[in-house]
Amino acid sequence: MRARRPDRSVDASAGSGEPGRVRIEATAEVTGFIRDRGGRVFVWIQPMAYGSGRVFVLEASTDSPGPEREFRRFRTDEGIEVLFDADGRALPERLLLAVKGWRRKRIRAYWNGNSFAQG
């Protein structure tokens, strides 16, 4: 499943001298949603077994999932802080953020535009 193309994208690099760049893509709606909830979003990998292989999906929340994760900190030009735990994997080229839900809106994250990836 492909996510809708955002209206705006930014390059974000890790702070504190950490290597790595990822293009963080987010619409104005996403940026506002995150800003209204403190300006920070957590994104992490959730591994899953699928058939005979391994896949993973990304989970995202403006609430911390807990201290057991090792997040890398990215900051967008819009002032949004993205804390991303790639679970030891190389960073994606693009991290797409979207707001989903009708009754209860929530943040969704996509690895290079995909809702899941192998690995």
Give 113's contacts (C-beta < 8 A, 6+ positions apart).
2, 3, 94, 96
Residues 30-79 pLDDT 10s: 999 999 999 999 999 988 777 767 788 899 999 999 888 999 999 988 88
**Domains, in order of start, for the chain:** 9-118 (2.60.300)
How large is the greatest C-alpha to C-alpha distance in the chain, in angstroms? 41
* pLDDT of 119: 60
pTM of the full structure:
0.80
